[in-house]
Amino acid sequence: MPLPATSYVPQNAPAEGPRRRAVLAWLAVSVVAVSGVGLIFAAPLLASSGRGWAAMLVYRAFAGLCHQQAERSFSLDGHALAVCARCTGIYAGFAACALLYPLARGLRRTDAPARKWLLLALLPTVLDFVLNFAGLWSNTHASRALTGAIAGAGAAFFALPGLVDLGRSFGRRGSPTSFAREPGAGELRA
């Protein structure tokens, strides 16, 4: 059965909806990533300003993601950050790369880079750990944070394409979010 003329979409019309949803998805990921980094630095500031209950909430939120060993963490106002130096680098690298992502690849591309790039981004972290473990190198807070930042930036290039594509498909006809709103949803069609 033909559709009514009101549902006609010209083939050369710009796809503003999906483009806008892709931008919104990128913004959401960026805001969450930057907020996470902000919380990492907020925890010691909250602790030093007498808001121990709020600081404890932040520390506990990150406890399942990081070992939080004080001797492996940067400190601020006499208190350790909410995560260790390497995790601080990972979160900061991811957040920075998420913010700059549209300049590097654009939001139209939804393909992930070749896996070798992720492995190359992880290589400095692995080398920093292995050389320290073997006693050939003493890693520092700075080396942990720097190698973590490289790994986090690399991870952003693998996470963002999928998240932006997911955001782009939100509300698209036939997608899980719009299926319930379609007239006759759930009916079998011949």
Q: 113-139 pLDDT, tens per residue?
A: 999 999 999 999 999 999 999 999 999
Specify the range with the lowest mean pLDDT, choosing from 52-61, 113-122, 132-141, 172-181. 172-181
| pLDDT higher than threshold 50 for residue 181 | no
Contacting residues for 144 by C-beta, under 8 A, at least 6 apart: 72, 84, 85, 86, 89, 128
Q: 136-149 pLDDT, tens per residue?
A: 999 999 999 999 99
CA–CA separation, 126 and 143 (whole Å): 12
Residue 141 lies in a domain: yes
Q: Closest by alpha carbon to 128, among 120, 142, 139, 119?
A: 139
| pLDDT higher than threshold 90 for residue 155 | yes
Residue 188 lies in a domain: no
Residue 2 lies in a domain: no
Q: Closest by alpha carbon to 107, among 35, 14, 20?
A: 20
CA–CA separation, 107 and 99 (whole Å): 12
75-76 and 79-80 as β-strands: parallel, antiparallel, unpaired?
Answer: antiparallel
187 confidence band (pLDDT: 50, 70, 90): very low
Residue 34 lies in a domain: yes
Q: What mean pLDDT do residues 93-105 have?
A: 96
Specify the range with the lowest mean pLDDT, choosing from 55-69, 98-112, 169-183. 169-183
| pLDDT higher than threshold 70 for residue 175 | no
Residue 74 lies in a domain: yes
Cα 186 versus chain centre, distance? 34
168 confidence band (pLDDT: 50, 70, 90): confident
156-158-163 Cα angle (round to 5):
85
Contacting residues for 141 by C-beta, under 8 A, at least 6 apart: 72, 73, 74, 85
- Let me know: does 160 contact 128? Beta carbons within 8 Å: no
Residue 164 lies in a domain: yes
CA–CA separation, 74 and 50 (whole Å): 20
Name beta bridge partners: 88: none
Residue range(s) defining the domain that contains residue 120 = 16-175
What's the residue count for the chain?
A: 190
Angle at which helix 85-104 crosses helix 141-169, to 10 degrees, equals 40
Number of domains observed in the structure of the chain: 1
Residue 11 lies in a domain: no
Please name the helix (run of DSSP H) or strand (run of DSSP E) that holds residue 33, with its range, or none: helix 16-48
Q: List Cα–Cα distances, 107 to 18, 26, 167, in angstroms.
A: 10, 8, 11
pLDDT at residue number 49: 96
Residue 4 lies in a domain: no
**Mean pLDDT of the chain, nearest integer:** 88
